[in-house]
Structure 1
Amino acid sequence: MRLQTTVLFFLLLLTPLFLQAQADGWVDLFDGETLNGWSQKGGNAPYAVQDGMIVGKTISNEENSFLTTNDEYDDFILEFEVWVDPQVNSGVQIRSLSSPDYRDGRVHGYQVELDPSQRAWSGGIYDEARRGWLYPITQSEKSQEAFKNGQWNKIRVEAIGNSINTWINDVQCARLVDDMTAKGFIALQVHYPYMEEMVGGKIKWRNIKIRTKNLEENRRKPDTQVKEISYLKNELTELEKRHGWRLLWNGKTSYGWRGAKIDHFPKSGWEMSDGILTIQETDGGESTGPGDIVTQNEFSNFELELEFKISKGANSGIKYFVDPELNQGPGSAIGAEFQILDDENHPDANAGIAGNRKVGSLYDLIAARNLSVPSRGKPFNGVGQWNKARIVSKDGHVEHWLNNIKVVEYDRFSQMFTALVAYSKYQKWEDFGQWPQGHILLQDHGNEVHYRSIKVREF
C-alpha cells in the first residue's frame, strides 16, 4: 500500500507538466529515441538517432535523400533546431509531395534552405525539383546574418494559407506568397555531395515540433523590413495594395494598353487566354507583326514586376522611358530595354559587346551579371519556364532584377551612362534614357513570348 501511494504521489506531481505540454498546442514530430512516424525517400544517405537528435550524413555518389513524415500537413507552425556541417548544404521540405506520376516519385515542393556557405541564403525558399528559387535571401542583410555556423540554430516556419514565412534565431528571413501546393509532408534533407569535401558531412536536428490549431493567435507579426515576394497570378496581395501596387494588365482585357504606333490595341497577334498575354509567332522580325504595345500612362519613379516565359530561340523585351513618337518608321519604339532572350539559341546573344544583349541586360548598354552573389551565375530558369523580371527606377537610379537576383544597376543621369549611349545604337536619339518620364512597352520581335502578373507601383 505504501508503494502504491508513493507511485500515485509522483504521478500527481508529473500530471501538471504533462497537461501543460499538451495544452500549449505543440505536437512533437520526433520522440527523441526512434524514427517512428518517419520514412525515407529519394537517396540512401543514412539517418540515425543519436543522443536525442536525428543525424543525417552525406555519402559519396548518392542523390538527395529525404526523411519524410508519414503524415501530411496543410496549415501549420513548425519549429526545430538544426546544426549543419559548414561544408554541406541542406534544407527542410514543407508541403512536399512524392508520387509515381511526377518524375518517378521524385520528392518535390517547398524547401526551407539551410545554407552555411558564404552565399548565406538560409531561411530562403527553394522549390525542390520544380521551379527552383522562389525566395532567395538577396534583399535583407540582417536575414543573411541570422544563421550561425558551428552552432545550433532555431528555425520557425509558418505556412498558413498561401503565405510561408520563415525565421532563424528570431530574425525573419522569407516572406513568400504562393498558392501552388497547399498540403504535403515535412522532410529532412541530406543533399548530395557535389564536391569531394562535402562527403561525410553531418546535419543534426532536434526538438522538432508542430502546431496545427489556433494558428492565427500564435502567428508572428511579419517584419516590415523583409520584402514580400508573391507568385499569385494576376492578383495583388493585401500588402501590395496597401503599398500602392496596381495591376498594369488585368489578365483579361487590353484595358490600359495600346499599340506603340497606333491609337488602339492591335486587333490580332496579341492573344489573351487563361490569364496569359502572348505575343504570337510571326517572322522573327522587329515589330514586323502586330507591333509593340505600350501603356496608356507614362511613368517616372516606379517599380515594375512581371513574369515572362519564352519559346525556344525567342527574342523580346520590356522597355521603359519609351517615347513612341521618336520612331514612326520600321522597327521597335525607342526606350531603355530589359532584354528578354533565349541566350542559347538566338544569334543576338553573341552580338553587341561582352554579352550586353543577353537576357536581363540593359540592351546594347550593360550586360546582366549576378550582382547579388557575384560568385554565382545569372539566374535564368530556362526556356518554357516562368521567369520573374523586376525593374526599379527612382531618381535616376535604375535596377534590373531577374528571378529576384539583381543583374543590372546604373544611374541614367551619370557620365558613364551618357558615354555608353554614345557608343551604342541609341546614340542618334538625343537624351536617350534620360527623359523625365515615358511609357512601358512589351516588344513584338516576331517570336512567341508569354507574359502575366504585370504590376507596378509609383514612388
Structure 2
Amino acid sequence: MLSLLAAFALLAFSLPQDEPGYRALFDGTSLAGWVTRGGRYDGAARWSVEDGCIVGRQGEDGAGGLLYTERRFASFELRLEVWLDQPFDSGVFVRMAPEGKGAQVTLDWREGGEIGAIYSDGFLQHNTGGAARFRRDAWNDVRVRCTGFDMRLEVWLNGDELSDYTLPADSPGYAPSGLIGLQVHGERGDTGAARFRNVRVKELPLFGEEPFSVTAGGLLALTEHGQRLGWKPIFDGQSLDGWEIEGEPERYRAAEGVLAFLARGGGGHLATRADFGDFQLRLDFRPARMANSGVFLRAARDGSNPAFSGCELQILDDFDWERVTSTKLAPWQFTGSLYGAVPPGEAGTLRPIGPIGAWNTYEVLYRGKRLAVALNGRTLFDVDTHALTPESGAPFAQRAKRGFIGLQHHGSEGVEGEVVVEFRNVFVRAQ
C-alpha cells in the first residue's frame, strides 16, 4: 500500500481538464505570486511547497497566518483542491485588505468545527452539516464564487452546493476588493498541515454571469434569471427609442447592437426618457483615439451641466491625451474616475481600461448616497458620496437624488476616424 506522502506525490500533478477563463494561481513548484503580508490577519505560519502542493503549518508557539495572492480580486470564482490533516483549522479568505473587512469560508476540520460556514469578525452564516461532506484522508474539491458590490459568497464542496450568503445591503466596513488568502488558523495545537493544489481563478463581472448570456459578436441577451431580477435593456440595439437627444441627431448611429457617437460637429448627449434613483447599471464602451466622453448618473433635466447636477463617470483616451494636448490630467479626469471627485483607484494609478480598439465594461451600483463602480471587473471605488469634497461641482448632498442616465458626446476635436466612442449592452436594474 502506498504511504500517504507517496500518494500526495502521485496525485499532486493530476491537473484538472481545461476550464475556459481560468488561470493558475499556483505553479506547482514555488510560492511565486503569493505573499504573507498585506491583509488583516498577517502571521508567522510556515508555508512551503511539497510534492506539488502548497503546505501550511503552524509556526513557532502555534503561530497562524495567511498566504495571500499578490494582487487583489473583486469578483471571481476560485477553484482548488484541499487536503486537511485532522484535526486542523483552515479556511479560504476573500477581499482581504487593510482598509476593510473581508470574509472567510471556514475549513475547520476539528471536532465540532464547521466546513463551509461564512465568517467575518464573527459568523455571518453557520454550516453545521458541511463537515459530513468533507472527505477524510483525501482531496476535496472546493469552489468559491465571490460576486457583487454587496458581497455574495457561494461555496461548493465536491460538486455539491454548500453555502450561499449575501451581505445585507450597504453593510459598513467591508473592502470592495482584496487579496485571496489561504489560512493556517494557529493557536489550536494542530500538529498536522493543510495542503492545497490546482489553485486557479476566473474573474467575473461584479453582477455575476447569470443575468446575461453572450450571443454572437459579444452582444448580451437577458436570461430568464436576469429578467426575474429586474434587469432591462435601455438600448434596443437598433434605434434611439427611449432616449432624448441633446444636440444634432446625425451625430448618433444605432445599428447591429452598437450605438456609435460620430465625429461630427460639437458636443451633446443622449438622456434616458425615464429617470432613475437607486439602480444598477452595466454597459460596454469602446473609445477611439483622443475620445472624450462619459456616463451621466442621476442628471437633472433643468438644462444645467449633467456632470454636476448629477455626476459623471469619465471616459477618455488615457493613453494619448496628455501627450497630444500637452496638458496634465488631474487624477479625477482619467477613465473610471468620478469626475471632479474620485480618481479610478488609489492615487489614480489603477488603469484597468483596455487598449484603444478594445471594449470595456462599466458596472455601477448607485443606492442612496452610496456609489460603487467597477471597470472591466475591477472595483475602482465604493464611496459615500456625501462624505466627499469634490474639486468641481456642488457637494453631492446638494445634487439630484433622481434623474436621467446619459451618454456624453463631448465633441470630436482631434479624434481619429469616423467614430468618437461606441456603446453596447446597456442594461439597468431599478431598485
Give the TM-score of the pair, scaled to structure 1.
Answer: 0.50
1:98-139 CA-partner distances (Å, limit 9, x unpaired): xxxxxxxxxxxxxxxxx961547599469xxxxxxxxxx769
CA distance in 2, matches of 1:122, 1:442: 26
Pairwise mapping of residues 199-214 of structure 1 onto structure 2 (< 5 A)? Answer: none
CA distance in 2, matches of 1:385, 1:234: 16
Letter in 1 for 2:263: E
Contact 2:276 2:403 in 1 (8 A): yes
Mapped pair 1:452 → 2:411: no
Match of 1:341 among 313, 316, 326: 316
Contact 2:74 2:95 in 1 (8 A): no
Letter in 2 for 1:257: W
Contact 1:357 1:367 in 2 (8 A): yes
Contact 2:370 2:382 in 1 (8 A): yes
Return closer, same or farther for 1:227/1:296 CA change in 2, 3 Å cut-off. same
Q: Secondary structure at the match of 1:392?
A: strand
Instruction: Compute the displacement of 1:445 (Å).
Output: 1.6
Mapped pair 1:244 → 2:188: no
Contact 1:340 1:358 in 2 (8 A): yes
Mapped pair 1:88 → 2:32: yes
Contact 1:123 1:173 in 2 (8 A): no
The equivalent of 2:54 in structure 1 is: none
Mapped pair 1:269 → 2:269: no
Runs of 4+ in 1 over 4 A off after TM superposition: 82-86, 118-123, 137-146, 155-158, 165-174, 203-206, 331-334, 348-352, 430-433
Letter in 2 for 1:393: Y
The equivalent of 2:173 in structure 1 is: none
The equivalent of 1:394 in structure 2 is: 367
Return closer, same or farther for 1:359/1:138 CA change in 2, 3 Å cut-off. farther
Contact 2:213 2:223 in 1 (8 A): no
Letter in 2 for 1:439: F
Return closer, same or farther for 1:346/1:231 CA change in 2, 3 Å cut-off. farther
The equivalent of 2:263 in structure 1 is: 281
The equivalent of 1:360 in structure 2 is: 336
The equivalent of 2:287 in structure 1 is: 310
Instruction: Compute the displacement of 1:337 (Å).
Output: 0.3
Pairwise mapping of residues 289-300 of structure 1 onto structure 2 (< 5 A)? Answer: 289=267, 291-300=268-277
Return closer, same or farther for 1:83/1:234 CA change in 2, 3 Å cut-off. closer
Contact 1:116 1:122 in 2 (8 A): no
- Which structure 2 segments of 5+ residues have no match? 1-6, 21-25, 35-66, 79-93, 110-137, 146-153, 165-195, 200-205, 413-419
Contact 1:292 1:442 in 2 (8 A): yes
The equivalent of 1:259 in structure 2 is: 245
1:235-263 CA-partner distances (Å, limit 9, x unpaired): 112221111111111112212101136xx
Contact 1:280 1:446 in 2 (8 A): no
Q: Which has the larger radius of gyration?
A: 1
The equivalent of 1:53 in structure 2 is: 11
Contact 2:286 2:359 in 1 (8 A): yes
Number of aligned residue pairs: 283
Q: Secondary structure at the match of 2:227?
A: helix
CA distance in 1, matches of 2:309, 2:233: 24
CA distance in 2, matches of 1:168, 1:122: 22
CA distance in 1, matches of 2:429, 2:339: 23
- Which structure 1 segments of 5+ residues have no match? 1-48, 57-66, 75-81, 91-114, 127-136, 159-164, 175-202, 207-224
Instruction: Compute the displacement of 1:300 (Å).
Output: 0.6
Q: Secondary structure at the match of 2:225?
A: helix
Instruction: Compute the displacement of 1:227 (Å).
Output: 4.1
Higher strand proportion, which one?
A: 2
Q: Secondary structure at the match of 1:268?
A: helix
The equivalent of 2:304 in structure 1 is: 327
Letter in 2 for 1:410: V
Instruction: Compute the displacement of 1:437 (Å).
Output: 0.7
Instruction: Compute the displacement of 1:145 (Å).
Output: 7.5
Q: Secondary structure at the match of 2:332?
A: coil
CA distance in 2, matches of 1:245, 1:87: 42
Instruction: Compute the displacement of 1:311 (Å).
Output: 1.2
CA distance in 2, matches of 1:226, 1:292: 27
Instruction: Compute the displacement of 1:452 (Å).
Output: 0.7
Return closer, same or farther for 1:446/1:350 CA change in 2, 3 Å cut-off. same
1:43-75 CA-partner distances (Å, limit 9, x unpaired): xxxxxx98433649xxxxxxxxxx897xx999x
Q: Secondary structure at the match of 1:292?
A: strand
Give the TM-score of the pair, scaled to structure 2.
Answer: 0.53
The equivalent of 2:44 in structure 1 is: none
Q: Secondary structure at the match of 1:304?
A: strand
Return closer, same or farther for 1:141/1:435 CA change in 2, 3 Å cut-off. same
